[in-house]
């Protein structure tokens, strides 16, 4: 190796080292930024029903609500043997890409369910008194709702929805109606915020 080449070699190696640091730093920075973004996104899931939002309306059932455009919707009438003590039933399910479901059931009961006391009281959100459930109250426009965890194995993990009723003895009482009811099935926890958004958009006609 001649003297000129031996002097040039450290210079070439230095340039390559600097370039390597630059390229490596660029990709390392991209990786760090991506990780930070994903971590922040997981802590603060974006919920935007205004993007490609769709509206479900059923004049016969007297109900409408908004739901995300990338969620699927299905309306059907189950067979008689799929429901207990009921007939003429209609189910509407809205399903997320993750498998979570917003479930609306409308059915005519063959007989009243005596002693049905699943209820929420906005004055007793922790369910410390009597038959009150521990409830989370959902802000809405025309109708007020509250949700409480259900022990229904068909939608576990899931929630029942109680609706503010016209109860003269307690105007802050929310009741669950098996004949005209809403439920959530939560396959992914981040979907719960969207389910509340759908619930909050429900209007009665």
- The per-residue pLDDT for range 86-115, each reduced to its tens digit, is 467 889 999 999 999 999 998 876 555 544
Q: What is the pLDDT of residue 4?
A: 53
R_g of the chain, CA atoms, integer Å: 28
CA 100 to chain centre: 7
Ordered by start, the domain boundaries in the chain are 1-44, 53-204
Q: What is the pLDDT of residue 27?
A: 32
Per-residue DSSP letter, 89: E
- In CATH, the architecture of 53-204 is 3-Layer(aba) Sandwich (3.40)
Share of the chain above pLDDT 90, in %: 44
pLDDT-derived band at 80 (thresholds 50, 70, 90) equals: low
Q: What values do phi and psi take at 50, rounded to 5?
A: -80, -15
Q: Which helix (H) or strand (E) holds 39?
A: helix 3-43
Q: Over the chain, what is the mean pLDDT? A: 76
Q: What is the pLDDT of residue 39?
A: 56
pLDDT-derived band at 59 (thresholds 50, 70, 90) equals: very high
Per-residue DSSP letter, 115: T
Q: Which helix (H) or strand (E) holds 192?
A: helix 191-200
Q: Quick check: 94 and 72 in contact, CB under 8 A?
A: yes
Q: Which helix (H) or strand (E) holds 204?
A: strand 203-204
- pTM to 2 decimals? 0.70
Residue with more model confidence, 153 or 100? 100
């Amino acid at each position: 190796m001649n003297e000129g080449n031996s002097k040039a070699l450290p210079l070439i190696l230095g340039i390559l080292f600097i370039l390597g640091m630059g390229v490596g730093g660029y990709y390392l920075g991209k990786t760090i930024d991506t990780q930070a973004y994903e971590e922040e996104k997981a802590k603060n899931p974006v919920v935007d029903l205004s993007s490609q939002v769709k509206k479900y309306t059923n004049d016969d059932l007297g109900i409408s609500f908004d739901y995300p455009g990338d969620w699927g919707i299905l309306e059907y009438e189950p067979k008689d043997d799929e429901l207990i003590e009921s007939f003429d039933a209609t189910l509407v399910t809205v399903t997320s890409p993750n498998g979570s479901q917003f479930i609306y059931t409308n059915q005519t009961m063959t007989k009243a369910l005596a002693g049905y006391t699943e209820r929420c009281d906005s004055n007793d959100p922790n369910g410390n008194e009597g038959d009150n459930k521990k409830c989370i109250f959902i802000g809405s426009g025309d109708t007020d709702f509250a949700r409480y965890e259900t022990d229904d194995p068909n939608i576990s993990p899931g929630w029942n929805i109680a609706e503010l009723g016209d109860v003269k003895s307690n105007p802050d009482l929310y009741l669950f109606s098996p004949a005209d009811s809403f439920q959530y099935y939560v396959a992914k926890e981040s979907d719960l915020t969207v389910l509340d958004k759908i619930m909050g958009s429900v209007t009665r006609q």
